[in-house]
Every structure is written in structure tokens, then in C-alpha cells.
A = this chain, B = another copy of it.
Amino acid sequence: MGRRPTIIDVARLAGVSKSTAARALTDSPDVNEATREKVRKAAHTAGYERNHLAVGMRSGRSGLFGLVIPDITNPFWAEVARGAQDIVGENGASLLVFSSDWDHDREAAHLRALRQARVEGAIINPVSDNVDDFGRFGVPFVLIGSSAERFPDTPSIGSDIAQAVRLGLDHLVLLGHPTPALILGPKSRLARARFLRTVHEHCLERDVDPGALLVEDSDYTFEGGYAAMQRLLARRPIGHIAVFCANDLIALGAMLAAREAGRECPRDVSILGFDGVPAGAFSWPGLTTIEKPAREMGRRAAMALFDEIAGRPQDGRIYLPCRLVERGSLADLGAQTPLRVAGVGRS
């Protein structure tokens, strides 16, 4: 259980100098194949493992990357983390993961920890302007998520909200819901404006008056969606009503509100979500939603980082397309056939 073996131990065991041992172990071409094999064997029998701290110190490459997200417990961010983890791992490096809880101070502390760990690069969902500072330290980083749009000069990865909204709207129109109600996030959010603008454009293109749409505000929570749906149902007490929700939690809350009001989904109410959270697959009916490519976002963010480090310059923001996941929460008003209510069907 004593001292871990160093390259000097290996060198001694192989009867070579430590520089030769190092060369052999780093697959340097300037070393005799027989010597290399000898060193390899010695390293193996000594149980040698390269000390990345020393390597990082000498070479400036720590083999460490950082990820700062709001909360690893949030399924969306967990997927992002997984994607980043996979790419970082494929490149022989390791990932430091931090949760900021949308807190400026925590974020600042985590960014400092990343710098002190001498990470080679970082993926950050920015909650404040801390990242401006971060850029000054010369650590390559890419931003991720919608909050990254506030930093147009920094390479970033996001989902294509405009494309997603159009996808949802097209699908709703197809099923006979040309003027869906909207339950949106708080007015303060950038994403809300983008969502609404795209809806307006889509309406205009179809010659429908955007002003005719029912809109409710919410706060991206289950409870918020529940309350907003109650208001919506009060405003439109009869007839089928279709609702396009700004996220899945809102949609799930809306679904419960409808049920408790005796309006059955999808018979009396159609609900379309946005996110692709796992819980949507287990609700009743299953939640039809637009899935953000969370894992792919994490992967692409990590790839962008490696590209940047390798000197391949990154262009600004990359928008990844979203995908429609059909489950059972939308009625097909155009069809004469009885409604299909699927509960199973996970992505």
C-alpha cells in the first residue's frame, strides 16, 4: 500500500533512463521497438499509472474539462451532462461537473474551481455575467442552453426554438387545431419572446390573426401550468381546446387541471408539451411533446470545445433541431375514426 510507482521505478526496472521510459510510454516514435516493449512490461509489472497531475503541470494539459449546469438533478441537464461526458471520455479526458442552482455566487465559485483545476476547457450554462470574466482567463469555453443567447460573441449550442415551435404548430394545424391556446413562461424570459414571435409569424403565414390566440402566463412549473390551465378553461368553458405549452411541466400541470375540471384529455382538450422530459412518457395520456436534443447538445458542446482547442475556430451559435414525439395527448379533430389514446410509447 506504499508509494505509487513513478516513471523512475519503471525506468529502473527496465534498465533505461527515465526519459527513455517516458518516451516509450508516450508512444513517441524515437524509441527502439524492443526497448518500448521492455518498458511496457516493466510498467505493467510495477503497476505503474501515469500521474496526470504531473503531466498536466509539465505539458499544460490537465486532461480535465468542466461542466457548469443549473442542476444535475434536472433530467434535461442530466442528458446534457451525459452527452458531454461521453465525448470528453472518448478523448481520454475527464469531466468535472457542477450544479449552480441558478445562483450567481455558486456559479462564480464553480468557475473559479474550474480555473484552479486548470481545466482545458469548459461548457457552461450561464446564469450571470460571470462568464465574461471567465473568458479573460484564456480557458476555452462554449456556452449551452437558451441563456447563452445573451452572449452572442461566444460560441454556443442551443436548441432551435423557432424550428420547434413551427414543428408543433404544423402538427397542431394538421390535427385540426389552427388556433391553439398558449401557456408561456414568464415575460422576463428571452425564450418566451422567441416562442411568441415564431407563433405570430406562423399565424400570419396561414392568414390567421395572432391576436385571436388565447395566451396565459406561467412560470415553467407544474403548479404554474395547473393554475394557468384553470384560467384558460374558465375563459373557454365549452368546446375542444388545444394548448401549446412552453414546457412539459406546464403541460403536465395543465393536464391535471383539465382532468379535475372534468375535461378529458385528449377528448375535450389537446395538450402539446415542449422539452421531452421522461415523466411525459408515463403520464395518462402520454404527453405528446417536442423533444429538445439534450444529449446531442452536450455532445456537440464538447465537440465544439475540442475543435476550438485544436485550433479549428468556432462559429457563433449552433441551433440543433428538435423532434416531435407523438404520444396520446392530442386529439385528431380532422379524423372521423375514434380517438387513439396511447399511453405507452417512450422515446
Contact = CB atoms under 8 A, between A and B. Distances in A.
Contacts of A281: 222, 279
A309 to B, nearest CB: 14
Given A73-B82, A115-B49, A97 B95 contact: yes
A96 B98 contact: no
A284 B109 CA distance: 41
A51 to B, nearest CB: 6
A127 interface: no
A26 to B, nearest CB: 13
Nearest to A62: B53
**Contact size class for A?**
35 or more
Interface string A83-121: 001000100001111110000000001101111111000
A95 B94 contact: no
A291 B184 CA distance: 32
A279 B63 CA distance: 36
A343 B81 contact: no
Interface stretch (A144-152, A237-245, A252-260): A252-260
Nearest to A65: B96
26 contacts: A1-B136, A47-B137, A51-B116, A52-B116, A52-B117, A53-B53, A53-B56, A63-B116, A71-B82, A72-B81, A72-B97, A73-B75, A75-B78, A78-B78, A85-B97, A89-B98, A94-B114, A95-B98, A222-B281, A222-B282, A222-B344, A226-B344, A255-B284, A256-B284, A256-B344, A282-B282
Interface of A: 1-2, 4, 47, 49-54, 56-57, 62-64, 71-73, 75, 78-79, 81-82, 85, 89, 94-99, 109-110, 112-118, 136-138, 222-223, 226, 252, 255-256, 259-260, 278-279, 281-284, 295, 343-344, 346
